[in-house]
């Protein structure tokens, strides 16, 4: 029996499964300098391949350390994930 309601995804940081609604979707998009970067997609509407992450700084740091974003998003080069980190720290200070 599935204890989750709705679709289930795996966090690229901690590798734990969770309901899709509890995770932040990230995609490859334009960074602040216009170059490709890993960017947050809180509405889950951006086109293309996405990866999911618990919206915590701990899971973000694990994903960066493990280089999980490039692997999950299937890009060859390491992309900066600074926009995701900024999104999470801004979100944490708002609460």
| Residue ranges of domains in the chain, CATH in brackets | 8-94 (3.30.1230.10)
Task: Calculate helix-pair angle for 82-94, 57-65, nearest 10 degrees.
Answer: 170
* Contact criterion met (CB below 8 Å) for 61 and 90: no
pTM: 0.88
Arithmetic mean of pLDDT over the chain: 90
- pLDDT on residue 4: 67
pLDDT tens, position by position, 49-93: 999 999 999 999 999 999 999 999 999 777 899 999 999 988 767
> What is the average pLDDT across 8-36?
94
Nearest CA to 19 out of 45, 69, 49, 55 is that of: 55
């Amino acid at each position: 029996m599935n204890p989750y309601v709705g679709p289930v995804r795996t966090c690229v940081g901690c590798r734990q499964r969770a309901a899709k609604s509890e995770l932040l979707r990230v995609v490859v998009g334009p960074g602040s300098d216009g170059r490709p970067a890993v960017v947050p997609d809180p509405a889950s509407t951006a086109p293309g391949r996405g990866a999911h992450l618990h919206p915590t700084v701990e899971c973000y740091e694990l994903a960066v350390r493990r280089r999980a974003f490039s692997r999950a998003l299937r890009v060859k080069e390491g992309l900066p994930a600074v926009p995701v980190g900024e999104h999470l720290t801004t979100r944490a200070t708002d609460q």
